[in-house]
Amino acid sequence: MGLKYIEEFRDASLAKDLAASIRQKSKKPLRLMEVCGTHTMAIFRHGIRSVLPDNITLLSGPGCPVCVTAQKDIDAFVAFSRLDDVIVTTFGDLMKVPGSGTTLSRQKAAGADVRIVYSVFDAVTMAKENPDKQVVFCAVGFETTIPTIAAGILMAAAQDLDNFFIHSANKLTPPALAALMETEGVEIDGFILPGHVSVITGIDAYRPVFETYNIPSVIAGFEPIDILQAIHLLVLQNETGKPALENAYTRAVSTRGNPKAKAVMHQVFDVCGAAWRGIGFIAGSGMKLNQVFSSFDAGAGFNLDLPEVPEPKGCACGDILMGLKTPEACALYKKKCTPMTPVGPCMVSSEGACAAYYKYT
């Protein structure tokens, strides 16, 4: 996208007009959830909350893949780092997420071979260059990342690599939205749906949730105009009593999404149930390697047997991810839990709600 088009979506006069229209037309108390962690950061960065009327509350949702990675999966990543002749590869956000006893960062400091990579392809290359080592990639992501991970598996298979593995903690977005709507105490009047994920899934992926719960929903981009436009549409839907599933990010998101990316994803992975940190088990919300590619499954290859462990005592990440609490309502926030000494992943990830609140408030 050219700079011209980016500047158009940062136009101050247009933003002012949209904010004024929102204030004029919004009468009802509204609780709107931005599902995506990138939206959470953009909302803070652009000061969106400061121009909204007091009757609109923005909630951060479960759209940060690191934040929703289950404690048991973090423990698995740590366990791999303790094995001889194993290189653990991971995205940087995972390094400081606490497991039940330690973190990948501390394991690295203690001598474990833990390396930050920028894509799964880096990890595949590392396996090829280190045939005497076993390379494990910590696969954490939503629909945006899963096709790339699948392509990495296909790359490893094409090169006949028998020393490359992944541990899949991948998640699918629409089932989480349905789970939120079924959770007692959750009050949401509209979803600001994720832009990056929707580029892959398309708008059609959300139709079952919308048709079941009739919840106002708008796909949004990440510039100030994108976000204000989405909020404006959600206000209109609520004020007129006409819920809709709308795409306000048409320059990037289509009805069907990216068929090739989805085909690669489903070539390698099967849908399964998955545990979401602080939320619990959600049927049909995970992706596991299918039988054809099961030899790349690190859990099976290393035969780990990890016990179930409780969430950190006092950590409110789960409630925050479901919109039941804001970070300030957590007893640990800015006290025991800070970016330097995080208790939960919401304070670690660059897309975490607690990290965003800590940085901007």
Q: What's the mean pLDDT when you consider all of the chain?
A: 94
Residue 142 belongs to what domain range? 71-171+280-302
Compute the average pLDDT of residues 200-206.
97
CA distance 57 to 59: 6
Give me the residue label for tokens 């247009």.
14
Q: Is the pTM of this model over 0.85?
A: yes
Query: Which residues have C-beta within 8 Å of that of residue 352, sequence separation ≥ 6?
Result: 37, 64, 66, 67, 345, 346
Residue 163 belongs to domain with CATH number = 3.40.50.11740
Establish if 244 belongs to a structural domain.
no
**Tens-digit pLDDT profile for residues 4-60:** 566 788 888 899 999 999 999 999 999 999 999 999 999 999 999 999 999 999 999
Say if residue 306 is exposed, middle or buried (CB neighbours under 10 Å; 0-12, 13-18, 19+): middle
Residue 2 has pLDDT above 50, yes or no: no
Establish if 190 belongs to a structural domain.
no
Least confident segment among 12-16, 120-124, 129-133: 12-16
Establish if 101 belongs to a structural domain.
yes
Q: What is the pLDDT of residue 5?
A: 60
- Cβ contact 63:90 at 8 Å: no
**Tens-digit pLDDT profile for residues 79-106:** 999 999 999 999 999 999 988 889 999 9
CB-side neighbour CA atoms (13 Å) of 1: 11
Helix spans in the chain (H): 3-8, 12-25, 37-45, 71-81, 104-109, 120-129, 146-158, 173-182, 195-201, 207-213, 224-240, 259-268, 298-302, 317-321, 353-360
Establish if 99 belongs to a structural domain.
yes
- Could you write out the DSSP letters of every residue in 169-197? --B-HHHHHHHHHHSTT---SEEEE-HHH
Establish if 240 belongs to a structural domain.
no
What is the distance, to the nearest Å, from the Cα of residue 184 to the centroid of all Cα atoms in its chain? 22
Tell me the one-letter amino acid at 342.
P
CA distance 241 to 115: 51
Q: What is the pLDDT of residue 6?
A: 67
Establish if 78 belongs to a structural domain.
yes
Q: What is the pLDDT of residue 1?
A: 44
CA distance 34 to 41: 10
Q: What is the pLDDT of residue 3?
A: 45
**Tens-digit pLDDT profile for residues 175-186:** 999 999 999 999
CA distance 322 to 266: 28
CB-side neighbour CA atoms (13 Å) of 219: 28
Establish if 321 belongs to a structural domain.
no
Task: Pick the most confident of 3-17, 162-176, 299-313.
Answer: 162-176
Q: What is the pLDDT of residue 350?
A: 82
**Tens-digit pLDDT profile for residues 238-279:** 999 999 999 999 999 999 999 999 999 999 999 999 999 878
Number of domains into which the chain is organized: 1
Compute the average pLDDT of residues 61-70.
91
Establish if 153 belongs to a structural domain.
yes
